[in-house]
Structure 1
């Protein structure tokens, strides 16, 4: 994929690294400015890395001031030279301290009114620092508006995610060549991670939720149904109580489901897929459960359209699982969602979940993941990345979703 920035062709090693075009940044900023004007706020101050990258194109140690009217100001503590290289914004200045940031903001805004901060992710100690620094401005939570803006992906963002899917698909196609009976989960995971890393995968994806982390879930048999703190259908034992999820030292055996759930990240953008492998056939019960997951996926593809209520599709999936006699296994214990948004973070909006009413819109990118968890035996199911278009769901990856028996 070739990305241009201000009309300049930029090509890096493996064509993986790219800068966000200025026009793309300005479009995003204008959408936030529209919200600020409607809410009667003077400005927003962006500090969290994913949001900072979304609106400025850089993740350097910086603060981005977006006024309700006028040009944004990027204030960089470290590294200023890299921020100049990475960001297509016009007003970028070097600052040394929070006092410098406060003075720059005071020089740009009136000394009254509201200023938005990302209160869903801002640590309390920083909140009190900003509160003092920004007085007499009133701090208002702008995180909800930012998440809703980021929820709708531009054609540029979808192209970034398609590049990520290309790399992910190459990895999944190599699983049968690397998977061997007797190897450990962590060995298989490491080999798959290496394939991804050399192609530009940045590693674990960003999550917005506090204390949530998402390593690759390469899990076999009973370990794929071993519960953990992770807010998802699968957990895994992990390597130690210090990181109690994901692949561990369990040996991969025959006739057990081997779940490969990777969230690859290229140029900041996340895609999320799950496929099931097995060395030898699985029990009829697991095969039937997997086929039910595929039926749920097909119904999603047939029926999800812009304007629909996302909750209805969670309810539909639950009903299909119940009719198949699998309701107690659907999505594992304590999990009440079947899909989530993707973008610069793994847990973006919307969420297709119980009691979560959301109007689905064209431009949303969704990971839909109907799965069935059988304690002591394993997990089966599927996960794919889709973009919602005016005509319905478009699956971005073309991987075979049947159980791959080796």
Structure 2
């Protein structure tokens, strides 16, 4: 792996697959501006500014990247120079949208644009092309949903790194400390364990645990609290971890322990159901049915999972109504939760890989309610 990206051969394969998928979709080309799709295709971490950067991937022919001359140095960090991509640079006062149209051969053509393209660029580009592009989502989702070996290896490393952070949690969850103080320590631990940064940190103690998207606050932890800790971040070359465990400060109330045991059974059932050919909605149902049997279905208020890779949330989504058949190489979270407003909540989350014969979880920390002893 080259610093910050995979070997260039990985991106060469992706560009070829993107061109083939573009042709299969009946399109002349993809136009990709900075964002996760550009990073996926050529390893570029360029950002979107008022000056246009756009990769043109034709269904047949040589890809072209149009970019400001002042961004040429940053382009060298990507795989572009190894991929045979034509580089067309421009300076202020020139028309970059016309350069994209020229790369497409001029005249109206059926193109697709990445869903991250700002309107600032989409509108003038549409005017130059003489035709309204469609979204490239359908093409790119098929490429990005099924991870290759290098991606899965990166996700394994990210999962192991976030497991090491969770292993530190019992020493951080001390009564009297605030959620924000715990979160600050977690932030430092995420980087210390090999991530480039923390993408998100949820420390939901007591009633805050009943809010699935609570972040952290000045509430002080107390003996008897149930604490939801959901954390993750990018691990080079940019693939994300995401893992949730639930902690009890001191021994939990018997009713809490019993309800948590149902959640644990639901999460295990959903993970066990993962294999090629199962529909995404069936994994969601596997978790939900266990909770429904115990009368807890109404307290599970979100989907069971989401895909993960360069983005923390991407396809496939593990949710009712999604009939997408699972395929080997898909990677997603399995994270049922139960939430009792004003009281407490709990969630258990692993990232899993669909294998040829079943499932490989990427997180190995204990799934049981983790009891943190209270001193004195």
**TM-score (norm. length: structure 2):** 0.90
How do 1:192-211 residues align onto structure 2 when only pairs under 5 Å count?
192-203=186-197, 205=199
The alpha-carbon deviation at position 191 of structure 1 amounts to 0.5
1:342 aligns with 2:308: yes
Give the 3-state SS of the residue equivalent to 2:112 in structure 1: strand
Which of 246, 257, 269 is 2:239 aligned to?
269
Aligned CA RMSD, in angstroms, stands at 1.9
1:33 aligns with 2:19: yes
The alpha-carbon deviation at position 309 of structure 1 amounts to 1.2
Is the 1:46–1:64 Cα contact (8 Å) retained in structure 2? Answer: yes
Give the 3-state SS of the residue equivalent to 1:354 in structure 2: coil
Change beyond 3 A, Cα 1:185–1:343: same
Distance (Å, rounded) in 1 between the aligned partners of 2:278 and 2:328:
11
Runs of 4+ aligned residues of structure 1 deviating over 4 Å after TM superposition are 97-100
Is the 1:256–1:279 Cα contact (8 Å) retained in structure 2? Answer: yes
Partner of 1:218 in structure 2?
203
CA offsets 1:187-217 (integer angstroms, 9 cap, x no match):
1011010111244434354xxxxxxxxx311
Moved more, 293-302 or 64-73: 293-302
The alpha-carbon deviation at position 184 of structure 1 amounts to 0.4
Change beyond 3 A, Cα 1:155–1:97: farther
Partner of 1:94 in structure 2?
89
How do 1:112-151 residues align onto structure 2 when only pairs under 5 Å count?
112-118=108-114, 120-132=115-127, 134-151=128-145
Which of 338, 355, 365 is 1:399 aligned to?
365
Distance (Å, rounded) in 1 between the aligned partners of 2:92 and 2:6:
27
1:165 aligns with 2:162: no
Is the 1:75–1:93 Cα contact (8 Å) retained in structure 2? Answer: yes
Change beyond 3 A, Cα 1:138–1:96: same
Give the 3-state SS of the residue equivalent to 1:171 in structure 2: helix
Q: Which consecutive residues of structure 1, in runs of 5 or more, have no partner in the other structure?
A: 4-9, 11-16, 206-214, 227-233, 237-245
How do 1:1-400 residues align onto structure 2 when only pairs under 5 Å count?
3=1, 10=2, 17-61=3-47, 62-77=53-68, 78-88=70-80, 89-91=83-85, 92-97=87-92, 99-110=94-105, 111-118=107-114, 120-132=115-127, 134-203=128-197, 205=199, 215-226=200-211, 234-236=212-214, 246-267=215-236, 268-330=238-300, 332=301, 335=302, 337-400=303-366
Is the 1:275–1:381 Cα contact (8 Å) retained in structure 2? Answer: yes
CA offsets 1:2-46 (integer angstroms, 9 cap, x no match):
x2xxxxxx4xxxxxx432221111211222211211222211110
How many residues in Structure 1 have an aligned counterpart in Structure 2?
A: 361
Moved more, 76-85 or 343-352: 76-85
Give the 3-state SS of the residue equivalent to 2:304 in structure 1: strand
Change beyond 3 A, Cα 1:37–1:306: same
CA offsets 1:264-318 (integer angstroms, 9 cap, x no match):
2112211210011122011222222222222122222332211111112222322
Q: Which consecutive residues of structure 2, in runs of 5 or more, have no partner in the other structure?
A: 48-52
Distance (Å, rounded) in 2 between the aligned partners of 1:365 and 1:98:
45
The alpha-carbon deviation at position 137 of structure 1 amounts to 4.4
Is the 1:256–1:377 Cα contact (8 Å) retained in structure 2? Answer: no
